[in-house]
Amino acid sequence: MKRFLAGVAGGLLGAAVVFGAAFALGAFDGTIVEQTVVKGETVSYEAEGLTPQQIYDEHAEGVVEIVATLPAQYDMFGQSTGPRQGIGTGFVVSDDGYILTNSHVVSESGQLAVDVQVVFNQDGKGTTQVTGTIVGADDATDVALIKIDPSQAPELRVLPLGDSSKVAIGEQVVAIGNPLGLEFSLSSGIVSATDREIQSPDGSTIVNAIQTDTSINPGSSGGPLIDSAGNVIGINEQIASRSGGNDGIGFAVPINTAVQVMEQMKGGSFAQGGYGDQLGEAQPDPTEVW
């Protein structure tokens, strides 16, 4: 789209130059026309907020890869499929080791992962893997909270949390995650829409979701959607796709919802599915959850 608009702008600029020369030479009525030429001044545009590179440099070490081992399932003949591993993303929200992610990263059909490994990226110095404990996982809001022992991890980089109620359509955002297993990848885009309703893994409706054209793929789930001020405004959760891949329509659970669920989990009063049931009735949704 930008390329097309740039082409149009270039064409208009070229036309202005041609017409300006024609007036100066008196080419329209054969008379000499006096013309005052106003020279334009160079205008410098300075982007507001942080660049994607600055956000990545500042916050990438606070984003983690989550490798969850799910319990074995059994087919109709009673044969075990064996344990299965899935890869997702999470991000550090406190210096005492709490990490937010999606419920579907660490659970499936109400069954929690039997093992969770949290992988930290140390800015070119390799990675460190730490065992995590699931504090809570709510399929109704697709929010999960993991706890790790900070003494076993590198120095924790806590990501600042924003206010998802103030998100505006058109503002610049970035996503950091592990799409298709490509660790600690950065993608950028804009907020395409706000106040969307999306379907959670258990069929409940998540309200106030953020729609973005930032590239999100399998493995990105649970990663942060970050605004240009460097604040997390959502947890990347699912895409709408006819092809099964990224079509430029992604959705994030609003961080305000995630924080409310997290506080209940930390307080020990969280009931599985209890919070999300208050957010609305299940509705059909063409999205795929990653």
The catalytic position among 103, 104, 202, 213 is: 104
For residue 179, which phi and psi values (nearest 5 degrees)? -65, 130
Let me know how many helices (H) and strands (E) the chain has, helices first.
Answer: 4, 15
Residues 137-161, mean pLDDT to the nearest whole number = 96
Q: Out of 164, 221, 228, 241, which one is annotated catalytic?
A: 221
- For position 220, what pLDDT does the model report? 95
| Position with higher pLDDT, 82 vs 102 | 102
Cβ atoms 202, 85 nearer than 8 A: no
Domain ranges of the chain: 1-40, 52-57+160-289, 60-152
Section 78-100 average pLDDT: 91
Q: What is the CATH architecture of 60-152? A: Beta Barrel (2.40)
| Catalytic annotation present for 104 | yes
What was the pLDDT predicted at 269? 53
What are 220-277's pLDDT values in tens digits? 999 999 999 999 999 999 999 888 778 889 999 999 999 999 999 998 755 444 334 3
Q: Concatenated DSSP letters for 152-167?
A: GSSSP-PPPB--GGG-
Tell me 36's DSSP state. P
Cβ atoms of 147 and 97 within 8 Å: the answer is: yes
- Among 73-82, 84-93, 138-147, 175-184, the range scoring the smallest mean pLDDT is 73-82
Which entry of 139, 142, 202, 285 is annotated as an active-site residue? 142
In this prediction, residue 75 carries a pLDDT of 74
**Residue 200: active-site member:** no
Is 142 an annotated catalytic residue? yes
Q: Write down the pLDDT at residue 270.
A: 53
Say yes or no to pLDDT of 2 above 70.
no
Helix boundaries (H) for 25-151: 52-59, 103-106
7, pLDDT greater than 70:
no
Q: What is the pLDDT of residue 172?
A: 97
Fold agreement (52-57+160-289, 60-152): yes
pTM here is 0.77
Express each pLDDT in 19-74 by its tens digit: 233 323 233 344 444 444 444 444 333 446 899 999 999 999 999 999 999 988 77
Tell me what pLDDT residue 277 has: 38
pLDDT for 5: 31
List pLDDT tens digits, range 183-220.
Answer: 999 999 999 999 999 999 999 999 999 999 999 999 99
CATH of 52-57+160-289, one of 3.40.50.300, 1.10.290.10, 2.40.10.10, 3.20.20.70: 2.40.10.10
For 279, counting Cβ atoms within 10 Å of its Cβ (0-12 exposed, 13-18 middle, 19+ buried), the class is middle
